[in-house]
Amino acid sequence: MADRSMGTPHLGPTPAAAATAESVADMDPVEYILRKRLPHKLPRRKNDIYINMKTDFKAQLGRCQKMLEAGGFSEICIHGLGLAINRAINIALQLQAASFGALHVAANTSTVELVDDLEPELDQAEAVTRTRNNSAIHIKVFLALPKGERVEPLNPL
């Protein structure tokens, strides 16, 4: 571990995190069942697409293409969490490549706090809740405006 007085970063766990890690580490994994809660989702709009690893890639790509072409949307927002980040990026790039420059992509990353429940198999043990962080990506795929064309700003009321 580095010395804090010299201005170098502290590389070890904080005391509170170490105590929590010890209590979770003391548990026998055979005695507990891990239940992962669903992550909090952004407000679901009609042009939001949440990418996962269970659905077929071509089906997800086709849904995005359909929304842009026949769905009447000038932009869609693709969301990916954890392992699905690579797939979300790949879908956005596939859409952009297939559009021959008609689509642009803007990506934002974030960290999402997830909650896991450790439920005891035996009645005498107590249930434990554990939080962890996971990476997320939010990709806006939108139609590019032709040169010289401008979007008029909306008048605020």
What pLDDT digit, counting tens, does each position of 55-114 carry? 999 999 999 999 998 878 899 999 999 999 999 999 999 999 999 889 999 999 999 998
Q: How confident is the model at residue 7 (pLDDT cuts 50, 70, 90)?
A: very low
For residues 51 and 116, which has the higher predicted lDDT (pLDDT)?
A: 51
CA distance 131 to 112: 10
Burial class (CB in 10 A: 0-12, 13-18, 19+), 81: buried
One-letter identity of residue 84: A
Q: What is the pLDDT at residue 31? A: 76
CA distance 112 to 155: 35
CA distance 45 to 77: 9
Q: Indicate if the pLDDT at residue 15 is higher than 70.
A: no
Q: Are 89 and 139 in contact (CB under 8 A)?
A: yes
Which range has the top average pLDDT, 9-23, 65-79, 143-157?
65-79
Q: Indicate if the pLDDT at residue 130 is higher than 90.
A: no
Q: Which of 86, 103, 19, 5 is nearest to 52 (CA)?
A: 86
Helices (H), the chain: 15-26, 57-69, 85-98
Q: Indicate if the pLDDT at residue 49 is higher than 60.
A: yes
